A and B are shown apart, each in its own frame.
Chain A
Amino acid sequence: MAQLNMVQAINQALADEMARDDRVVLLGEDVGRDGGVFRVTDGLQDRFGAERVLDTPLCESAIMGAAIGMAAYGLRPVPEIQFMGFTYSAFEQLFAHAARLRSRSRGRYSCPLVVRTPYGGGIKAPELHEESTEAIFCHIPGLKVVVPSGPYNAKGLLLAALRDPDPVLFLEPTRLYRMVKEEVPEGDYQLELGKARVARKGSAVTVVAWGSMLERVLRAIDGYDAEVIDLLTLNPLDLEALLSSVQKTGRAVIVHEAIKTCGLGAEIAATLAEEAMLHLRAPILRVTAPDVPVPLAKLIDQYLPGPDRIRAALDEVLKY
């Protein structure tokens, strides 16, 4: 099996699916000739032609809106938004149209598209290039939100997303793109959307994380008897995985790089309070970014949750 990084794994998933299904069409800024600013789509235009890998004008709303029309027509568009911070200008199309097309048309039309976008902080890039506002998108009924945490699950999740009958927002943690290599099988495999993964087994506390925070959590928990849940899909949440772990450990710490207020941690904590109150032995803690816009490079390390803050939260819940 080949050792691939996440960029290569995603590239392979796209190439395989394009070879298998000629309805799959990529579109976005710089995805063709340049292979994307992170080279995720490198080589695909050479292989599949400029009709299937479209370099678009600079127009996020039109990219998203056009993808909706393509999807309704029967294609499987994969719009790339160059950075998560630029999904905001496509937000109306995503929120008001992609996610509602099935329900607005009472099932007559569906919108099977996969929006790919790099997300998350820690790459010393300009403003709006390190956003982590996944919770906004989880608030949209009719849209699935997926976040891989490594090359293997990136490929398996993307293949599943590409075959999903509904719109999927596929968030690629930029900081992980080239950080690790893993064995990635060549052929076809899918990881079911909506299923979390136990990244490490433990019994004293459950730590919930996703995307690039997972790597930080795994480094921080050395010496703790912690069970780590890697969500992989943020909407819908894998309640079963969350509940069965927390019922076992009785403690939960949620770590995310988005800000605290109305972050996804709030949803998870509220769900655990509703469904697992009687199993809890300690308050549920959140380790998050502070409630400020993502800063530029000089303060990004203070912004992102680091190992010290993660361990402090673990120590706190373990006191109970």
Chain B
Amino acid sequence: MPEEVLATFQVKRVSVLNENGSADLDLMPELSADQIWRMYQLMVLSRCFDERAVSLQREGRLGTYPPIRGQEAAQVGSAFALKADDWVFPSFREMGVHLTLGYPIPQLLQYWAGDERAQKTPPQLNIFPFCVAVGSQIPHAVGAALAARYRRDSAAVAVYFGDGATSKGDFHEAMNMAGVYQLPIVFICQNNQWAISVPLKGQTASASLAQKALAYGFEGVQVDGNDVLAVYRATKQALEKATSGGGPTFLECLTYRMADHTTADDAGRYRSDEEVALWNGRDPILRLERFLAASGAWTPEQGRGVKEEATSLIDRGVGEMEAVPPPDPAELFDATLAALTPRQAGQRKGR
């Protein structure tokens, strides 16, 4: 018997804006000028939030914090495509997603300041709390997609994770299940190229992460993750496919973590200044500015205006966060179960 080729495959990479900010007009997503401007504001807001959070941590006013610098396009672009009733399962590095969805700034800060109460996500958003155990949220998202389909809801599910998470069993089990049931879910991987000190090639031997989806029976697409328009376009399409019964999609947003892994990390130990400088040149905010400037929609003054507005929003958020009275030790108990166990009831009273 001769050998036969059972499968060959192709994996697409999508980009709309090149590094100079000029757009491929055939691929331009349907967005009004106002919407693009809003995305720009959200990216700047995300950057300001991040810069402030890092400096608050340095001053001892926040605990360990994971910066998102460099990933604003992947986060804002994807979240901008979500509808109000979609379900969102973040990892711990999606502050740009939260800000895009209108998550309260004081509450975001309060969480990173170590206040448990901030884990209660706002009722108007179907968003799970930050997930620290890498990859463990991916099966939850699959479950929510199963439930959405069971209920005949029109909601889709988006789950966020990093490149490192694709090494976990949870990722593979969840992807497999989503493929088997053809669920309304979009897997959004922010491939920022590093899982703490381990680079992508220490995480996988495959040429792209996107192609992993093919083994599970659905489409995987690589997107230029520093291109907010491409990320928006790909996410929007995947969400539409999900809600119209087309099944799951895996999006690999190729981006870069420009800062340390967390404020407790020193990326200088494991990566070169040249690499970081190269990616600084691909800054997603600069790219959108260039695009807007080319059509006269952005000037340095307007840029400064957006930044000032963002700064004052963050200032206000920091003030409100720090005005929240500290938690009472009794709050340790209040949400562990619907009703306290007898022992907890005693402990809550100090016994």
Residues of A within 8 A of B (CB): 29-30, 32-35, 37, 55-62, 85-86, 88-89, 124-129, 260-261, 290-293, 295-300, 302-303
Please name 7 further chain A to chain B contacts, defined as beta carbons within 8 Å, in addition to the given A29-B198, A89-B168, A291-B343, sorted by A numbering.
Answer: A34-B270, A57-B202, A62-B169, A86-B134, A125-B63, A129-B132, A298-B116
The answer on a CB contact under 8 Å between A128 and B133 is: yes
B332 in contact with A303 (CB, 8 Å): yes
Interface check B347, CB cutoff 8 A: yes
Would you call A126 and B269 a contact (CB within 8 A)? no
Chain B interfacial residues counted at CB < 8 A: 43
Q: Are B333 and A124 in contact (CB under 8 A)?
A: no
Residues of chain B contacted by A33 (CB below 8 angstroms): 197, 269-270
Interface of A, secondary structure class, is: loop
Closest CB-CB distance, A87 to chain B, in whole Å?
Answer: 11
Contact indicator B167/A57 (Cβ below 8 Å): yes
Complex interface: chain A residues within 8 A of B270 (CB):
33-34
User: Is B329 in the interface zone, CB < 8 Å from A?
Assistant: yes
Q: Least Cβ distance of A294 to chain B in Å?
A: 10
Of A29, A86, A298, A302, the most chain B CB neighbours within 10 A belong to A298
With most chain B CB atoms within 10 A of its CB, the pick from A58, A85, A129, A299 is A58
Given known A-B contacts A57-B202, A58-B203, A299 and B327 have beta carbons under 8 A apart? yes
What are 8 inter-chain pairs, A to B, with CB distance below 8 A? Answer: A34-B197, A37-B196, A58-B135, A58-B198, A127-B130, A292-B344, A296-B116, A302-B332
Among B167, B269, B332, which residue has its beta carbon within 8 angstroms of that of A58?
B167
Q: Which residues of B contact A124 (CB under 8 A)?
A: 63-64, 114
Q: Mark B99-136, 1 if CB is under 8 A from A, else 0.
A: 00000000000010111100000000000001011111
Chain B residues in the interface with A (C-beta under 8 A): 63-64, 92, 111, 113-116, 130, 132-136, 164-165, 167-170, 195-198, 202-204, 264-265, 269-270, 326-327, 329, 331-333, 336, 341, 343-344, 347-348
What's the nearest-Cβ distance from chain B to residue A96, in Å?
14
Residue in A closest to B326 when the chains form the complex, CB atoms: A298
Chain B's interface: helix, strand, loop or mixed, by majority?
loop
B164 and A58: CB pair below 8 A? yes
Query: Are the CB atoms of A297 and B202 closer together than 8 Å?
Result: no
Query: Within the assembled complex, what's the spacing in Å between the Cα atoms of A268 and B21?
Result: 67
Q: Which of A58, A59, A89, A297 contacts B63 (CB 8 A)?
A: A297
B133 touches A126 (CB 8 A): no
Tell me which residues across on chain B come within 8 A of A298, comparing CB atoms: 113-116, 326-327
Please tell me if the beta carbons of B336 and A293 are within 8 angstroms of each other in the complex.
yes
Interface residue from B167, B204, B269, B347 paired with A290 (Cβ < 8 Å) = B347
In the assembled complex, the Cα of A126 lies from the Cα of B118 at a distance in Å of: 13
Closest 9 CB pairs of A and B: A297-B114, A34-B197, A57-B167, A58-B164, A302-B329, A296-B114, A290-B347, A127-B132, A58-B167
- Bound-state Cα–Cα, A299 to B327, Å: 7
**Taking the nearest CB of chain B, how far is it from the CB of A136, in angstroms?**
16
A126 touches B63 (CB 8 A): yes
Residues of B within 8 A of A89 (CB): 133, 136, 168-170
Among A57, A300, A303, contact of B198 (Cβ-Cβ < 8 Å): A57
Measured in the bound complex, the distance between the Cα atoms of B73 and A141 in whole Å is: 50
Q: A127-B132, A290-B332 are in contact. Are A30 and B198 (CB under 8 A)?
A: yes
